[in-house]
Amino acid sequence: MATHDASTTPTAGAYAEAHARSLSDPDGFWLEAAQAIDWTTPPTSAVDDSDAPLYRWFPDGVMNTAYNCLDRHVAAGRGDAVALVHDSAMTGEVTEYTYAQLTEKVAAVAGALAAEGVGKGDRVLVYLPMIAEAPIAMLACARLGAVHSVVFGGFAPKELAARIDDAAPDVVLTCSGGIEPRRRVEYLPAVAEALEEAGHTVRTVLVHHRDGFQTALADVADRGGAAWKDWGEAVDAAEPAAPVDVKATDPLYVLYTSGTTGKPKGVVRDNGGHAVALRWTMENIYDVGPGEVMFTASDVGWVVGHSYIVYAPLLAGATTVLYEGKPVGTPDAGAFWRVISQHGVKSFFTAPTALRAIRRADPDGELKDQYDISCLKTLYAAGERLDPETQKWAEGLLQIPVVDHWWQTETGWAIAANPVGLELLPVKTGSASVPSPGYDLVVLDGMGEPVEAGVEGNIAVRLPMPPGTLQSLWGDDQRFIDSYLSAFEGHYATGDSGIVDDDGYVFVLGRTDDVINVSGHRLSTGVLEAALATHPAVAECCVIGVADDFKGQRPSGYVVLKSGVAAPDPGSQEETRLFDELTAAVRRGVGPVADFRDVAIVDALPKTRSGKILRKTMRQMADGEEYTVPSTIEDASVLEDLKSLLSPRG
């Protein structure tokens, strides 16, 4: 087999042509894509490599992102088209905003920010739940050329303070609180505590009022050295603001990667490259255009929410659905199907963990049958690996392409995807499909040499990265270079391991620190999990490598059973039989080399709010190492419940 390079990707068709051109003529390819954006000063060059390994896109271009998301559609006569649908399963309310209405609201909030002294390059921290004010706040910042930093609503005060100190915002935009299925989360005490803990002094806090919360604006108005003001009153008193021209290379936002400890790692996204890349993906990856509806079931606090709830659909003139609720429990596992049916969704994007939750609660899809979802053409999954069993289940349930695609906070859009808008390539279960145009993807060994097709290694991207990817880390170019560009010279190290097969399809097997070493054999936990998930009783699972004096590490599995499958009594014959079947499934799928013997039945797996399983934390607990419970954890009690199972067993 030949070593993997660009020539091993599909060699015929619209995708192959686009990918090949994007690598051989990146300037021509991306300048052509840039024509879909309205520029005050159109760019004449694409990539600026004068400060390599730091690259900038469209260095002589001038534009405004919010104008491209809103005003230009109104100017084109589409002001009455629906831009944003806010669907709240928590309040039972659905609110639609046309492009004209959303433009007006964004201009008003931008005016309130301008009245507080916010201008080009200033930072604004956004701490909001899934309400319409969140995308309005983001777009208002973009309108002024200010830099927004969205922090997931409900983050602990310590984490919020760390981000305040790093981004040094002039203004914080927040509200009374967020609504969860079983509780209400008060935001104002957390913001006040964060302001008091932070070294940086925030000038103003604007508070949007929501009914049903205990803490009022007056209760915190004297805390943290900031001027606390009512959002509505500030907007009413201000003049609407017009879009401000910015350079394409000026920063649009800073987004902190989840689970960081110590000094936060703030990913910096530019204006021009971001707009061009996201606009291109809507047509060519997601096959969504003006007037069509995209539903991305994520949170605006995560990169998926930034890219595909807020910016990309609006850049394309589409309708975006902002959903406040859960995949199950608000009220049931049919929640997503209800949203898709009610709003005529064409393209649906969610995390694999959400699909597994639905499958666990409604394995036969009976709730789906209550809704007409014939409008839905494609389901996209990202956030973590889509295991083959869940992918097969979703394909069987929906009878449409279920596309796993792979990207990161750092990249802002898909590194690998099935480019449905260009052409629907054959779906390979377990694969994130093929490298997206613009990404020169390679698989390298530990010495930085390309490996043969089908051989696992470190997934990397040859520099320069395409537009829309991170420019740097906020205030720390050297940390950016050290963190991402130093492992393999001339490459961005993704931190993921995987393979590229003979057809050019990418299989992401897990983070490089999720590779375990069993008696000298390197095994991906993703491969072990895929085998474990083939058992018909398994809803979801994870495998970690536990320290072993003899083998180095031994794989240890943790399994959540499907709804309706009763957990066997401890020590019973039924339990022994189930464990034998689970270990046999891994033996069949991976082989005896895995030496898989440890498995436990659990009620739930510990996850971040974005759906990632906390494998590293579980491994640290099992090995008796010091660990920190990440601030992004969805439910800390789940980890607490696992303590006895994860106690050191050296």
Alpha helices by DSSP H, 469-624: 477-480, 525-532, 573-590, 615-622
Maximum Cα–Cα distance across the chain: 74
198-231 pLDDT tens trace: 999 999 999 999 999 999 999 999 899 999 999 9
Q: Please, where in the chain does CATH 3.30.300.30 lie?
A: 519-641
Q: Sorting pLDDT into bands at 50, 70 and 90, what band is 639? A: confident
Q: Say what the pLDDT of residue 245 is.
A: 98
**Statement: residue 637 has pLDDT above 60:** yes
498-516 pLDDT tens trace: 999 999 999 998 776 666 7
Distances (CA, A) of 283 to 110, 292, 419: 29, 11, 9
Q: Which residue has the tokens 């505590």?
A: 193
Q: Kindly state the average pLDDT of the residues 61-87.
A: 98
Q: Kindly state the average pLDDT of the residues 460-477.
A: 97
Phi, psi of 367 (to 5 degrees): -70, -30
**Statement: residue 649 has pLDDT above 50:** no
What is the rounded distance in angstroms from the CA atom of residue 366 to the CA atom of residue 351?
21
**Statement: residue 8 has pLDDT above 90:** no
> What b/e string do you get for 217-230 counting C-beta neighbours within 10 Å, with b at 16 or more?
eeebbebbebebbe
The set of residues, in sequence order, having a beta carbon less than 8 Å from that of 545 and lying 6+ positions away, is: 516, 517, 518, 525, 553, 554, 555, 556, 619
Element (H, E) at 524: strand 521-524
- Mean pLDDT across the chain: 91
Q: What residues are paired with 558 via a beta bridge? A: 542, 600
What is the rounded distance in angstroms from the CA atom of residue 345 to the CA atom of residue 293?
5
CB count, 10 Å around CB of 574? 12
> Is 524 or 8 the better-scoring residue by pLDDT?
524
Q: Kindly state the average pLDDT of the residues 277-300.
A: 97
Q: Say what the pLDDT of residue 515 is.
A: 66
**Statement: residue 147 has pLDDT above 90:** yes
CB count, 10 Å around CB of 236? 10
CATH architecture label of 6-62+383-510: 3-Layer(aba) Sandwich (3.40)
Q: Say what the pLDDT of residue 260 is.
A: 38
Q: Sorting pLDDT into bands at 50, 70 and 90, what band is 642? A: confident
Q: Sorting pLDDT into bands at 50, 70 and 90, what band is 386? A: confident
Q: Kindly state the average pLDDT of the residues 628-641.
A: 80
Q: Say what the pLDDT of residue 629 is.
A: 80
The set of residues, in sequence order, having a beta carbon less than 8 Å from that of 402 and lying 6+ positions away, is: 379, 381, 386, 391, 394, 395, 427
105-130 pLDDT tens trace: 999 999 999 999 999 999 999 999 99
Q: Say what the pLDDT of residue 509 is.
A: 81
Alpha helices by DSSP H, 177-317: 188-197, 217-220, 231-237, 272-284, 303-305, 312-315
- Tell me which range, 330-339, 346-355, 537-546, is most confidently predicted by mean pLDDT: 330-339
What is the torsional sign of CA 379, 383, 387, 390? negative
416-430 pLDDT tens trace: 999 999 999 999 998
3-state secondary structure of 143: helix
Whole-structure pTM value: 0.84
Element (H, E) at 393: helix 388-398
Q: Which residue has the tokens 């030949």?
A: 2
Overall CATH class of domain 519-641: alpha beta
> Is 576 or 7 the better-scoring residue by pLDDT?
576
Instruction: Say whether the peptide bond before residue 53 is cis (omega within 30 degrees of 0).
Output: yes
Q: Kindly state the average pLDDT of the residues 284-303.
A: 96
522: its two tokens: 């390197």
Q: Say what the pLDDT of residue 1 is.
A: 27
3-state secondary structure of 614: coil
CB 55 within 8 A of CB 49: yes
**Statement: residue 259 has pLDDT above 80:** no
Which of 150, 156, 181 minimizes the C-alpha distance to 630?
Answer: 156
Q: What residues are paired with 97 via a beta bridge? A: 84
Q: In the sheet that 402-404 helps form, which strands lie side by side, from edge to edge?
A: 93-98, 82-88, 319-324, 293-296, 347-350, 378-381, 402-404
> Is 154 or 98 the better-scoring residue by pLDDT?
98
Q: Kindly state the average pLDDT of the residues 231-260.
A: 92
**Statement: residue 243 has pLDDT above 60:** yes
Q: Please, where in the chain does CATH 3.40.50.12780 lie?
A: 6-62+383-510
**Statement: residue 7 has pLDDT above 50:** no
Q: Say what the pLDDT of residue 158 is.
A: 83
Percent of the chain beyond pLDDT 90? 72
CB 164 within 8 A of CB 264: no
Q: Which residue has the tokens 């390298």?
A: 444
Instruction: Say whether the peptide bond before residue 568 is cis (omega within 30 degrees of 0).
Output: no
What share of residues in the chain are helix, strand, coil (percent, to 5)? 35, 25, 40
Q: Say what the pLDDT of residue 650 is.
A: 39
Q: What is the 3-state secondary structure (H, E, C) of 285-321?
A: CCCCCCCCEEEECCCCCCHHHHHHHHHHHHHCCCEEE
CB 271 within 8 A of CB 63: yes
260-283 pLDDT tens trace: 345 778 999 999 999 999 999 999
**Statement: residue 154 has pLDDT above 90:** no
Element (H, E) at 113: helix 99-115
Q: Sorting pLDDT into bands at 50, 70 and 90, what band is 550? A: low
Q: Say what the pLDDT of residue 79 is.
A: 98
Q: What residues are paired with 557 via a beta bridge? A: 543, 599
Q: Say what the pLDDT of residue 549 is.
A: 66
